[in-house]
Amino acid sequence: MRISSGLGVLIISTAMAMATFTGAARADATRSEGSFYLIFEPHQHRTVEFSELTERLAGSEVVVLGEKHNTPEVQQIQARIIESVALKTLQGFDVAWEFLDFTAQETTASAFTRFKAFQITALDFLRETQGGLQNSSYAPILEVLRRENGGLLGVNLSREDKAPVVKGGTQAANPDRVPPGFKMGGADYLARFEVAMGGHATPDQVQNYFAAQCLTDDVMAHHLVQDSKAPLKFLVAGGFHTDYSDGVVARIRKRSPKVKLSVVRVEDASDYQESELPALFHDDHYGDLADFVVLVNRPRK
């Protein structure tokens, strides 16, 4: 496989069980120094430009952004996507963030109001709501919300609410925290979860960790659908929650069957070799990773 960024041309040519991916994309003039991105549409086996991506997303009611956490280039591209789509739709929008708990929404809203009034900075907001600056790479997303008058929602469970589930499964959960109609993820989701655990837990521990994962998915889906009244909703969550339209994506669709939903996976290409990228876009068993895959940084040779 060869990637040529100088001419703005991408050629992906790697033997796969189902397809050979070939596409072309221009480099974006506003990319961050020292990085680039590529946008791939797995279902159509082609690359798309940023303007087409945001035009397509503008027809959605929910845009799920599955991410690699705490990676500045990833959060910068997500901020651009959110702002570009919001400007195309010219309607109210909310961003729901995995790192904010729904039980702390009052505290979040208070800090966010002060941030939007320029009484505190984005880093001040993150320090107050995250207990430090470990998530400072998310500041660009907050700046977009202030600039475009977007809302911000906490949709996750707190660590305190997850802890009993990690130890004792869903039966140990506070019933007030379990959304109506909660269901565990399916066999494929569990199989991927077991691989991700890497054999570092007992079977019982894996089941409990998986229960916490699934409860997190459904809590985020429930509160996104229930708490946001905006016509356009974004969810920023870790990629495992969103990959292959499983996890939180499946639960959003279950809770809002008619919703127009798009999934964008934003990944750091430097975690992969060039030859591994086609398998990232599509798995023979699980299918397409997302509707669109946005890569930042350069893959390893």
pTM of the entire structure? 0.89
Beta bridge partners of 296: 37, 268
Return the ∠ at Cα 214 (arms to 172 and 175), rounded to 5°: 35
278 vs 20: CA distance, rounded Å: 8
Per-residue pLDDT of the chain (301 residues; tens, 9 = 90+): 333 333 233 333 333 322 333 333 333 433 443 356 799 999 999 999 999 999 999 999 999 999 999 999 999 999 999 999 999 999 999 999 999 999 999 999 999 999 999 999 999 999 999 999 999 999 999 999 999 999 999 999 999 999 999 999 999 999 999 999 999 999 999 999 999 998 889 999 999 999 999 999 999 999 999 999 999 999 999 999 999 999 999 999 999 999 999 999 999 999 999 999 999 999 999 999 999 999 999 998 8
138 vs 72: CA distance, rounded Å: 8
Q: Check the CA dihedral 288-290-294-298 and report its sign.
A: negative
Helix (H, G, I), strand (E, B) or coil at 96: strand
Structure tokens at 91: 């309607």
Tell me the fold of 2-296.
Rossmann fold (3.40.50)
Strand 232-238 and strand 62-67: the pairing is: parallel
Per-residue model confidence (pLDDT) at position 36: 62
132 vs 179: CA distance, rounded Å: 30
Residue ranges covered by each domain of the chain: 2-296
Per-residue model confidence (pLDDT) at position 199: 82
Q: Tell me how crowded residue 248 is: count the other CB atoms within 10 A of its CB.
A: 31
135 vs 137: CA distance, rounded Å: 5
75 vs 72: CA distance, rounded Å: 5
| Burial track 122-141 (b if 16+ CB lie within 10 A, e otherwise) | beebbbbbeeeeebebbbbb
Name the packing angle between helices 139-148 and 72-89 (round to 10°).
20
